[in-house]
């Protein structure tokens, strides 16, 4: 899996959601797109979690 930034993953996820909502996606592509969306969600969640940990660590250092 290539290293996507949070923004890239989020934008691709938005595109997939829009394709599904507007019906621009065939039934054959649907499972592939849903699987990709799941992967993108995991990327976003990991990046958010990592960022939260980093911020908390910085805040702890500032309190010392």
Asked if residues 17 and 51 have their Cβ atoms less than 8 Å apart, the reply is no
24 belongs to a structural domain = yes
d(C-alpha 45, C-alpha 27), whole Å: 27
Instruction: Output the pLDDT for position 2.
Output: 58
Residue 56 domain boundaries: 6-63
Residue 21 predicted with pLDDT over 60:
yes
Q: Residue 1: inside a domain, yes or no?
A: no
Is pLDDT above 60 for 27? yes
Total domains, the chain: 1
The pTM for the full model equals 0.79
Residue 56 in any domain: the answer is yes
Please give the Cα distance from 52 to 37 (Å, whole number).
22
In a domain, 22, yes or no: yes
């Amino acid at each position: 899996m290539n290293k996507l930034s949070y923004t890239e993953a989020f934008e691709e996820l938005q595109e997939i959601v829009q394709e599904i909502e507007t019906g621009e996606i065939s039934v054959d592509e649907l499972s592939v797109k849903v699987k990709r969306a799941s992967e993108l969600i995991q990327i976003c969640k990991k990046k958010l979690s990592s960022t939260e940990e980093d911020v908390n660590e910085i805040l702890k250092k500032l309190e010392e």
